[in-house]
Amino acid sequence: MKKNVVVGIVALAAVVTIALLLLKFNSNGGNAGPQNITVGSITPDYGFRLANGSYTNLSAYKGHVVVLWFVATWCPSCAQGNEEINQNYQFFERRGIKIIELELYNDLGYSGPPISSFVSSYAPGAYSNDTIIPALAGYNMTAVYDPKGYLDIYYLISENGTVLYINGSPSSTLGQLEEAINSSL
């Protein structure tokens, strides 16, 4: 019971933190205010830092289908999502789909393990064969792709950068993601 209360409080605090960050960002006239990313829209091209320290951007993945997944490394459902993907990573591997797992900016203000440790702990098979690519989202990317501060949201993106499917919590929606992949590719 105590653990559920603590998890609930932490999740609520994370939502409040990201909302305050977005409010501050928008009031300062930032150039990356929330955009309406929907199925059928073209993904905004933001750069991000890979866990190995190098930088890249979404346009580097044009020509490849990717799942862009935003997580907090202290998030229990994100850990469960990694475990679920790890059990099913061959599905993605056979289709050449990479999962770019992005730690939300500053881990939404809470302390969690580094993204590479998080992924390698919960999804060792998917991590070791490069099905999951751990990375860190910057402030602007977090604000645009996750404007409501969800802890566990993902986008299925086509070879040309079009959003094909959006959902959250792969631990409970992996079957739906696989259906979306099978029907759109």
Give pLDDT tens digits for 126-183. 999 889 999 999 999 999 999 888 889 999 999 999 999 999 999 999 999 999 999 9
Give pLDDT tens digits for 10-65. 444 444 444 444 444 333 333 444 468 999 999 999 999 999 999 999 999 999 99
Cα distance between residue 166 and residue 185, in whole Å: 15
Task: Please state the separation of Cα 120 from the chain's center in Å.
Answer: 16
Task: Please state the separation of Cα 127 from the chain's center in Å.
Answer: 15
Q: By C-alpha distance, which of 96, 87, 89, 91 is closest to 63?
A: 96
Pick from 30-39, 69-78, 99-108: least confident = 30-39
Instruction: Taking each helix axis as running N to C, give the angle between helix 76-95 and helix 115-122, from 0 to 180 degrees, rounded to the nearest 10.
Output: 70
Residue 70: is its pLDDT beyond 60?
yes
Amino acid at 44: P
Q: Between 18 and 69, whose confidence is greater?
A: 69
pLDDT in the model for residue 14: 44
Average pLDDT of the chain, as a whole number: 85
Q: By C-alpha distance, which of 91, 101, 86 is closest to 151?
A: 101
For domain 2-184, the CATH class is: alpha beta
Residue 2: band (very low, low, confident or very high) from pLDDT cuts 50, 70, 90:
low
Q: Domain spans of the chain? A: 2-184
Q: What is the strand order of the sheet 163-168 is part of?
A: 55-57, 47-50, 132-137, 98-103, 66-71, 152-157, 163-168
pLDDT in the model for residue 20: 42
User: Is 87:56 a contact under the CB 8 Å cutoff?
Assistant: no
This prediction has a pTM of 0.81
pLDDT in the model for residue 149: 85
Cα distance between residue 105 and residue 112, in whole Å: 12
CB contact set of 99 (below 8 Å; sequence gap of 6+): 66, 67, 69, 85, 92, 126, 131, 132, 133
User: Is 125:86 a contact under the CB 8 Å cutoff?
Assistant: yes
